[in-house]
Structure 1
């Protein structure tokens, strides 16, 4: 059965890439795949050797754009460029400003009003919806840019002080730029719009409560899905940008975050980086709630590989590889075809589908056991952000019956942060990922609401 699934996967990826390959310049002396039968043993090492022998390397033509990391070989630099998302035709999301290095993190590079389009989608009274483009930092400390949307309620803030701001870190979970919430708010509903932008209705409930809502596109311009440093920098710099754009209205506001699943990656990244990257925000951000927390990718390598979640797991690997191209170097020809195929511009509703084949990520690698390799161990270590203390109080919740994002990781994060002296709360809620999202949401948002109202955070460590 696994042999047939491999055949289907190969046909799907190569056929899906055919249009892309035709658009490239012709490759001299093309390699003709030899007629090699399946190996007698369908074990992974044999399949990997068969795949590498049968599938030719994809044609790689590097598009223009900044290289993520210095010191790459020309071939790896070209591959790294080729896996990046395509432009969507909107300069706010596509254009890299030439003078990024001259700006400080959080400096505003562009701003626009998208109220007419966004208000029709939000379905609650809003005064204005602004989109910001700002300077941020990539996973290697190099200048990058981020985008975010700021939703301002129509009614005046009735409470004391400045209007509070809820930072809604949505589970973007995507590889293409059209999948971001800001793209939808600017251009209207499209096939790439995510239902998680509205369910649960975090933005709408917060607006009705009188809060402004900041929605960061936290995967950055490279759509580095699941990369926590990119996401954390983008979230923190979006807060800086709002405070600089409207200092009289939001300069002294309280900010609190919420994120679930992919949004929890961004929330976790942000709170871990406040102390080292944005210490001035430690007194501005009053708390962060996160649920369904992918806190340890080594755990996910056990729970999401070779099952129905394998499409999402592979997409997250591609997303991280956009910022950490050493991963690309260990992909075989099948993995490289997938990485440059039209899949690179899709959202979770598309790239999750190959999970029905339940193929292990090993089939995209050129080493026998990639998830237990030295490279994997280093990626686990870096993305775990172990020992990085949150500068703000935390509320962490997770489904007790979670099978794809086990509660083990969330509990370990809670105990670690308690040991570091953080005021934290942990809630185990019934259900797997979807059920837990619904059951855990009300208490999490009540906790966030109390922080925005100025109530001191409880500590249950």
Structure 2
């Protein structure tokens, strides 16, 4: 086993070197698809986070005066079933970075299954495209603030190449492997696994952050994770789908259903959506396009199920959704900062209350902040700046307290 892991790691490093040299010289370039295929075929746990291709990119959409360099990297990770894959991330290195360097894994909002909706594409497309397709405008503002703090950042396409939206394992694993990839990437100038690191995400991005926190102890124990902040997290996909059914956010449930179908094809979820045009649209549109194309969508209007039962109540589907519930992936070993809008109509706050109670019972160091008077969308600007401040304190090595034991086990922001 030791030899196999070492050999796998060497194959991946050799593949990465071959691609980078070919890209810079234009000579002897092996087809990228062949190199990626070879890397995936050889990958095991020793190769997670290995980079198989990298190149500089221009990111015109971050509103900041901070100078920075940016690269797109393709790295090895695992999908929901644990099969090796490669996916993309964007590495941002500020010119005036803090020393010693720190790293933030930033899980941007995706909430769709088409590749043009993923951060690697959205960040290069610019603010105009984001305003009409995705929902990364607030993420761009926060990324600018983070770069001004001097933090190196990695922004992963955490749904993987197949867009396994709502399938929590891929979201958590690809986030952790993005940290490994950034720490493996020489131009980032980091200190390997010793680099102080943190994870941040809101809404859809909170899922990758939350599940990475739960998976880290077993999946990536070598990482120096100082803290994870997640806001407006969807704890239970089924409860969330019921909450948004027939609302402006209703199309999210269809995207999640077809994302889970990609992760668990044996469930045959796509077969319950009989209209191929609808399936194609959900597979090719980003969040804002979905919401404008299918306002107030109800799953029952687009599905045909045995006896007319809810798609969410088909036993095999319900069992998988239950297995993807937050709290079931593992116990976070690092401090957590969870925050939630008290009027959140998209992600039921009661589910987060229950998750925090569960964590406190397991001895997890949790700071839980509830923000009154705001709903899901406005909960982002209401809570995210304080969450990033909290991350800054963790990266600086400042100890943190916990709200466990307080009435309601939370603070009101």
| Counterpart Cα distance in 2 of 1:440 and 1:333 | 37
Structure 1 residues 126 and 302: alpha-carbon distance in aligned structure 2, compared to 1, 3 A threshold: same
1:151 aligns with 2:92: yes
| Counterpart Cα distance in 2 of 1:434 and 1:371 | 25
> 1:159-198 residue pairs with structure 2 within 5 A?
159=99, 162-186=100-124, 188=126, 191=129, 194-198=134-138
Q: CA RMSD in A?
A: 2.5
CA-to-aligned-CA distance 1:25-61 (integer Å, 9 cap, x gap): xxxxxxxxxxxxxxxxxxxxxxxxxxxxxxxxxxxxx
1:168 Cα deviation (Å)? Answer: 1.1
Say which SS state the counterpart of residue 214 (structure 2) adopts. helix
Greater RCO, 1 or 2 (C-alpha within 8 Å, sep 6+)? 1
Question: Which portions of structure 1, spanning 4 or more consecutive aligned residues, are displaced by more than 4 angstroms?
Answer: 91-96, 119-122, 186-190, 197-200
The structure with the larger Rg is 1
| Counterpart Cα distance in 2 of 1:407 and 1:207 | 31
| Counterpart Cα distance in 1 of 2:32 and 2:401 | 40
| Counterpart Cα distance in 2 of 1:94 and 1:309 | 40
CA-to-aligned-CA distance 1:369-398 (integer Å, 9 cap, x gap): 222221232122211143421121111111
Query: Is contact 1:309-1:352 (8 Å) kept?
Result: yes
Structure 1 residues 211 and 329: alpha-carbon distance in aligned structure 2, compared to 1, 3 A threshold: closer
Query: Is contact 1:314-1:361 (8 Å) kept?
Result: no
Structure 1 residues 398 and 253: alpha-carbon distance in aligned structure 2, compared to 1, 3 A threshold: same
Q: 1:301 aligns with which of 241, 248, 257?
A: 241
Say which SS state the counterpart of residue 259 (structure 1) adopts. strand
Q: What residue number does 2:52 align with?
A: 109
Using the size of structure 1 for normalisation, the TM-score is 0.73
Say which SS state the counterpart of residue 97 (structure 1) adopts. helix
Q: 1:428 aligns with which of 344, 358, 370?
A: 370
Q: What residue number does 1:447 align with?
A: 390
> 1:54-453 residue pairs with structure 2 within 5 A?
97-103=37-43, 104-114=47-57, 117-118=58-59, 121-157=62-98, 159=99, 162-186=100-124, 188=126, 191=129, 194-199=134-139, 201-246=141-186, 249-251=190-192, 252-281=194-223, 284-329=224-269, 331-332=271-272, 334-339=274-279, 341-361=280-300, 363-367=302-306, 368-369=308-309, 370-387=311-328, 388-430=330-372, 431-453=374-396
Say which SS state the counterpart of residue 80 (structure 2) adopts. coil
Q: Return 5+ residue gaps in structure 2 as ranges.
A: 1-30, 405-413
| Counterpart Cα distance in 1 of 2:61 and 2:385 | 26
Matched residue pairs, number? 363
Say which SS state the counterpart of residue 324 (structure 2) adopts. helix
Query: Is contact 1:172-1:262 (8 Å) kept?
Result: yes
Which region of structure 1 is more displaced relative to structure 2, 268-277 or 354-363?
A: 354-363
| Counterpart Cα distance in 2 of 1:97 and 1:209 | 38
Query: Is contact 1:152-1:212 (8 Å) kept?
Result: yes
Query: Is contact 2:36-2:52 (8 Å) kept?
Result: no
Q: Return 5+ residue gaps in structure 1 as ranges.
A: 1-90
Structure 1 residues 333 and 224: alpha-carbon distance in aligned structure 2, compared to 1, 3 A threshold: closer
| Counterpart Cα distance in 1 of 2:34 and 2:214 | 28
Structure 1 residues 362 and 92: alpha-carbon distance in aligned structure 2, compared to 1, 3 A threshold: farther
1:231 Cα deviation (Å)? Answer: 0.9
